[in-house]
Structure 1
């Protein structure tokens, strides 16, 4: 398998693809709303620290397991030990991990479908097609099915083309486009009244809030989910990474790009919220909590765009193109996980496998849409509060305790010959064994409180 396995064609291709897998609605929607709800600059400061101490060390082990196994999550986890019992347990952990992207994609594609329909609504609004615009912005089964179907189509078309011609090719196009669109939006938003107050709120920390338990746990959870720790995407992308590359350096590059997107999203969204407040849109409740944090992208910001007249229609178009790109770079990594498993285990063609598995998960999404009130929140909770943290904990435990220190060193030394003498190697294996599991458990416990 290792001899014929496809790999990313370039270092930048891997970094942008892996960062794209991490960059999603959690960065562009979740991070700014968490920052707005938890003290702005204070949250940003703690979040940056949590990325370093929580997410980065675990990102390395997921990527390392994938590159070591040179296979899908199930077979990569099996490869960590020669002991039959450990192999069976590793395979079970791989299956648990594989459930994460499948479940997340099922509800994520529905939300991404809303982004697609709001994007199309921005176009029809510019063209003066009021009735169609109202349908695209309205919440109906037909609208939700339509948006999700388009999003699945885009995802499958990219994944079916393979690692180099599909994932890498489109990631190296979509990620730079993401940064350019962010820059354009930031420049425009900062010309509006109220934007500077939002920028100050975001960048100037209130140090009295930095040690608040609620803020610390929120920042830890956001940092954890921002890099899709436990989501299998980094493991599968790691399996396509050349042995010539330094894993710690590549993981750091992915972390920096992902964090940069979250940071820039805050630069756009928080000033935009304060501009909306200046124009009479309610953002915060009397107790200081954020109104409609779950629907900020679909309610509060469109009100801001509407208040800007004709310019607002074009700003809305740019914003929802940006959001759709961010969602797409994540969804292709989610679908890649089961596609890699089936195509490797059963030697099926990538194109057919992508369409069949994408279609199966799409049918599950359709079931959720038809039973939205009962299933959407349930599936999202099971995926993000149960399976993902548990998978992350198991990956960390297996990587720290089951995978031998010698094998870890050999894998990480490929591409980093001087690793054994470095300060990183003196700290990371011990940190992975003892500190990371405690931090993941803290995230897991906080998600239930």
Structure 2
């Protein structure tokens, strides 16, 4: 007997879950880094423009594919290509599925780092110096402890299903994330050096807005920060009721995700100027000193200069980062789980534990070959798969899929301009993003 397919029970639950899928390290780590390296306020302004030009249509397209099919990405893309080459659509779905597993494999490692760093201030507070050094250090043992812990946390939520697991926990975690962000911004705003950071972030230098490197960087960041290209949004779109107002919900998700990215910049960039004011080396020739050092070196150095209050600030910050990581791992894990349930008749519990086991093996392989494999995985995903899959979605909705595709069939009325925009403009913009990240980074 076919299993009854679950779905989101409320619009708010969907928006928080989908925004939680998008809100992750790309927002709280990647966005401020890009803004700091590309003109601050100028990057922010271009980013907002690009959200509407590229990211919002891309988000709508991916959600639309899942919503219309009411199925996981493999099934959804196979259906969309049914009249042309169904094997092409299914193959793209499998590529997205594999990408989700690979992305989860390295993302779970990084999320484990966040968990370890959130415990480090507690260890330091109670005087456990060896534990503090272990938690803040970089070791294979630490990775093999905290990566499985993050996988177990994710599995525990996925096991509960869409309504009781994903939706319920998104409604809990996302408000906490927002409150922590606002509280940290308010505190950072009281410290010396913050005013210069707020100015650099909020006041654009209009002479930099036309910089091609800045524009392409904003396009790439807008696309990647919404977790587009691996099927996260497609699977969440499939859990919506068929009569939902998808354009309105898409806008709500994009605005919440963009709002969190904006708040992250409002926290991180002033924090960088505060750190610089306190003697921490942050910028060199106008660029961040080692982008990867931002979270695990520069900010902890800043927290260390704050005295005892720095322990609580560091604790709050890394709890925030852990929540952002968890909401993203939940959505990516649901992709292979839903595939096993719908395409192969697995029960949710069986599918969840099988996926978790596969992730544990693949994460372990990355940990044991960290020096070369970690960077390679990130490069393949961000430079090739994500932009190419985004381009594939635009082509699918705009040019290939016909039967049941109301957007492609719309020849008049209020959706006509948007249908043409998806067909002609979005593929060009997406190709520009791909060309930049694949060949010119």
The reply to whether residue 438 of structure 1 matches residue 428 of structure 2 is yes
Residue in structure 1 matched with residue 210 of structure 2 by the alignment:
211
Residue in structure 2 matched with residue 70 of structure 1 by the alignment:
70
Residues 412, 196 of structure 1: CA spacing in aligned structure 2 closer, same or farther, 3 A cutoff?
Answer: farther
Match for 2:337 among 318, 336, 339? 339
Aligned mates of 1:4, 1:343 — CA distance in 2: 10
Aligned mates of 1:4, 1:402 — CA distance in 2: 30
The reply to whether residue 45 of structure 1 matches residue 37 of structure 2 is no
The answer as to whether partners of 1:100 and 1:232 remain within 8 angstroms in 2 is: no
Give the 3-state SS of the residue equivalent to 2:287 in structure 1. Answer: coil
Residue in structure 1 matched with residue 13 of structure 2 by the alignment:
13
Residue in structure 2 matched with residue 161 of structure 1 by the alignment:
160
Residue in structure 1 matched with residue 286 of structure 2 by the alignment:
288
Structure 1: give runs of 5+ residues left out of the alignment.
Answer: 414-418
The reply to whether residue 409 of structure 1 matches residue 406 of structure 2 is yes
The answer as to whether partners of 1:156 and 1:354 remain within 8 angstroms in 2 is: yes
Residue in structure 1 matched with residue 220 of structure 2 by the alignment:
221
Give the 3-state SS of the residue equivalent to 1:9 in structure 2. Answer: coil
The answer as to whether partners of 1:8 and 1:241 remain within 8 angstroms in 2 is: yes
**Where has structure 1 moved over 6 Å in runs of 4 or more?**
410-413
The reply to whether residue 357 of structure 1 matches residue 355 of structure 2 is yes
State the Cα distance separating 1:330 from its structure 2 match: 0.5
The answer as to whether partners of 1:68 and 1:239 remain within 8 angstroms in 2 is: yes
Once the two structures are superposed, what CA deviation does each residue of 1:89-120 show, in whole Å capped at 9, x if it has no partner?
Answer: 11111112222211111111111111111011
Q: How does 1:101-120 map to 2 (within 5 A)?
A: 101-120=100-119
Once the two structures are superposed, what CA deviation does each residue of 1:143-186 show, in whole Å capped at 9, x if it has no partner?
Answer: 11112111111111111111001100000100000110011101
Q: How does 1:3-402 map to 2 (within 5 A)?
A: 4-83=4-83, 85-285=84-284, 287-402=285-400
Residues 24, 174 of structure 1: CA spacing in aligned structure 2 closer, same or farther, 3 A cutoff?
Answer: same
Once the two structures are superposed, what CA deviation does each residue of 1:189-238 show, in whole Å capped at 9, x if it has no partner?
Answer: 01100001100100000000001011001000000101112121000000
The answer as to whether partners of 1:7 and 1:242 remain within 8 angstroms in 2 is: yes
Q: Which moved more, 1:326-335 or 1:95-104?
A: 95-104
Residues 420, 256 of structure 1: CA spacing in aligned structure 2 closer, same or farther, 3 A cutoff?
Answer: farther
Aligned mates of 1:69, 1:412 — CA distance in 2: 16
Once the two structures are superposed, what CA deviation does each residue of 1:324-345 show, in whole Å capped at 9, x if it has no partner?
Answer: 0001101100010000001111
Residues 412, 334 of structure 1: CA spacing in aligned structure 2 closer, same or farther, 3 A cutoff?
Answer: farther
Q: TM-score, normalised by structure 2?
A: 0.97
Give the 3-state SS of the residue equivalent to 2:6 in structure 1. Answer: coil
The answer as to whether partners of 2:232 and 2:332 remain within 8 angstroms in 1 is: yes
Aligned mates of 1:213, 1:2 — CA distance in 2: 52
Residue in structure 1 matched with residue 413 of structure 2 by the alignment:
421
Once the two structures are superposed, what CA deviation does each residue of 1:381-407 show, in whole Å capped at 9, x if it has no partner?
Answer: 112211111111111111111112x62
State the Cα distance separating 1:81 from its structure 2 match: 4.2
Number of equivalences: 439
Once the two structures are superposed, what CA deviation does each residue of 1:7-60 show, in whole Å capped at 9, x if it has no partner?
Answer: 101000000000000000000000001000000000000001111101101111
Structure 2: give runs of 5+ residues left out of the alignment.
Answer: none
Residue in structure 2 matched with residue 416 of structure 1 by the alignment:
none
State the Cα distance separating 1:411 from its structure 2 match: 10
The answer as to whether partners of 2:32 and 2:264 remain within 8 angstroms in 1 is: yes
Residues 2, 282 of structure 1: CA spacing in aligned structure 2 closer, same or farther, 3 A cutoff?
Answer: farther
Aligned mates of 2:16, 2:289 — CA distance in 1: 34
Q: Which moved more, 1:99-108 or 1:261-270?
A: 99-108
State the Cα distance separating 1:244 from its structure 2 match: 2.2
- CA root-mean-square deviation: 1.7
Aligned mates of 1:144, 1:431 — CA distance in 2: 45
The answer as to whether partners of 1:64 and 1:412 remain within 8 angstroms in 2 is: no
The answer as to whether partners of 1:67 and 1:241 remain within 8 angstroms in 2 is: yes
Residues 65, 320 of structure 1: CA spacing in aligned structure 2 closer, same or farther, 3 A cutoff?
Answer: same
